[in-house]
Amino acid sequence: MAIFLLGCEKEKTPISTSENIPDVVKEYVDRFRLEASVRGIEISTKHLTIEFEDGLAGNNGTPASGSCTFNDERTITIVKLDTTKIWWKFSDMLREAVIFHELGHCLLSRSHLDDELPDGTPKSMMHSSDISFYVLSPHENKTFRRDYYLDELFHGGAEEPCWANNNVDTGFNITVVGNFQSNVHRDHQSVIWTTSFQSLHKYQNGFMTTIDEINSNLPLISNVKIALDRFDSLWVWGKTDDGFIIAKHKNENEFEIVYNHLSLPNGPFDVRVFNIDSRDQLWFGNFEGLIKISNTGIVKHFNQDNSSLPKDPVVTISSDGNGNVYYVSGNNFIHNPGDDSFEIFNSNNSILPRQGLNKMLPHKEGVYISSRARLFFYDKDGSFRRIDMIRANMPQSRINYLGHNPQGNIVLGTEHGLRVMDENERISNYCEYYFGEARKDIISLVFEDNHTIWASTFQDFFKVELQR
Ligand SMILES: [Zn+2]
């Protein structure tokens, strides 16, 4: 009965609307609040009502995706959405853009702005007719533009984005060192090491040297793989005419040959990945399993025949400071706690996806695992968590590399360039580390110090001085 009384009291001209947000749009309103709050703006949705209505029309009578009605005091704010139109069905990013546009009118008092950026794209998501600002479709991925449009939306103006002008000066000093793709490592002497076309290179005091049998004590080797141990000393694995060689870098071009003429079980053993764990055990992954060489030289081969391991190529091996070894093989993420046992996780017993696992990074009490544009965290207690990449500020960027910067923050090499993630799992904006169109697809990188990074795309190996 009380409800009817309340209804009677409000039956005349309403003086305010109260919060009424249907469940299907709650996620977008939450994202709007979050994006406002990371930009220092607190949003109240106390008076926000969202309704659905077919056949909405704009001021000039043309069909509209949504509308916003409000009074001067903003005690009445009604957003209407026509969810029968294509924008609703098309994609999550397009839904968000339309809803954010209407909330821009209703909650931020923004009016339409039809200005353009130098490349002809809308300057603002308050554009009166365009809605493809940061669209994601099977044919195009413009999601890297999202952080600019949200800056502009909440601040009513933003610095011109790096992607809107082909001749943009990145402000960084970039030196291309070679036209090859490379894994990059930095050792404890700040020497930068890379491998390319099966050769080993070092970069020191401004010079690149290719290490070979003439200028070093290493024999002629191929299929070179490198890894750092817990002291950040460089180890080299290679194939010789007569078995395999494992050597540790000492000084200049001098190496300690730890194993020579090494033969390994099961015939040809093409190493794909190499890691050294915190117990000084050497791990090698090939197309069907793992080899471990203990610090006393005992060689163990783990594969489908002698253990529960899957018969898939080993994609990557990683280890932390507590003796844990992790590796990815096919669709499986595998944890070795330091003994000869393996815990195997995949889509059957965890939230991990069916395919696409690629990089890993031990961090604090667990490991980050990437799968294309997704990121997961494995906690040592055995649980998995999926990072919400939209809330993290990187809706859809393929991850090629995971590492740390000197401050201990996580750095991501992505198809949309270098991104840095803070402790709250919020990722830096696209233009913050923009190295130009040709240097976007970063597959490996390392920080030499706070100001200098070495990075590789599929085409180039380059150095960037980060101080602008
Ligand atoms: Zn509008």
Output the CA 445–ligand 1 centroid distance in Å.
Answer: 43
How would you list the strands of the sheet with 199-204, edge to edge?
184-186, 192-196, 199-204, 207-211
How high is the pLDDT of residue 465?
A: 94
Structure tokens at 386: 């999926």
Output the CA 128–ligand 1 centroid distance in Å.
Answer: 5
Cβ neighbours of 442 (radius 10 Å): 26
Output the CA 112–ligand 1 centroid distance in Å.
Answer: 6
User: Which whole-number Å values give the CA distances from 82 to 26, 53, 106, 133, in the listed order?
Assistant: 16, 5, 16, 19
Residues 6+ apart with CB under 8 A from 155: 39
Output the CA 106–ligand 1 centroid distance in Å.
Answer: 10
In angstroms, rounded to a whole number, what is the distance separating the alpha carbons of residues 112 and 125? 9
In angstroms, rounded to a whole number, what is the distance separating the alpha carbons of residues 368 and 370? 7
Output the CA 126–ligand 1 centroid distance in Å.
Answer: 6
Output the CA 370–ligand 1 centroid distance in Å.
Answer: 38
Asked if residue 291 lies in contact with residue 301, where contact means CB atoms within 8 angstroms, the answer is yes
Output the CA 131–ligand 1 centroid distance in Å.
Answer: 10
Output the CA 60–ligand 1 centroid distance in Å.
Answer: 12
Output the CA 166–ligand 1 centroid distance in Å.
Answer: 29
Structure tokens at 35: 């994006």
Output the CA 87–ligand 1 centroid distance in Å.
Answer: 14
Output the CA 48–ligand 1 centroid distance in Å.
Answer: 16
Output the CA 144–ligand 1 centroid distance in Å.
Answer: 23
How high is the pLDDT of residue 138?
A: 86
Output the CA 196–ligand 1 centroid distance in Å.
Answer: 53
Output the CA 125–ligand 1 centroid distance in Å.
Answer: 9
How would you list the strands of the sheet with 282-285, edge to edge?
273-276, 282-285, 289-293, 299-303
How high is the pLDDT of residue 12?
A: 43
Output the CA 65–ligand 1 centroid distance in Å.
Answer: 9
Please give the torsion angle defined by the CA atoms of residues 349, 355, 360 and 365, in that order, rounded to the nearest 10 degrees. -20
DSSP states of 198-238 as a string? Answer: TEEEEEETTEEEEE-TTTSS----EEEEEEE-TT--EEEEE
Output the CA 39–ligand 1 centroid distance in Å.
Answer: 22
Cβ neighbours of 180 (radius 10 Å): 16
Output the CA 102–ligand 1 centroid distance in Å.
Answer: 6
How high is the pLDDT of residue 309?
A: 86
Structure tokens at 234: 């460089």
DSSP 115: -
Output the CA 214–ligand 1 centroid distance in Å.
Answer: 70
Output the CA 113–ligand 1 centroid distance in Å.
Answer: 9
Output the CA 67–ligand 1 centroid distance in Å.
Answer: 7
DSSP 241: T
Using DSSP, state whether 370 is helix, strand or coil: strand
Mean pLDDT in runs of 10 for the chain (468 residues)?
Answer: 26 72 96 97 94 84 86 88 90 95 94 94 94 90 97 92 88 90 90 87 89 94 93 94 93 95 68 92 90 91 83 92 93 91 95 94 96 96 96 97 96 98 97 94 94 94 88
Which structural domains are found in the chain, ordered by start? 14-164 (3.40.390)
Signed CA dihedral, 43, 47, 50, 56: sign only: negative
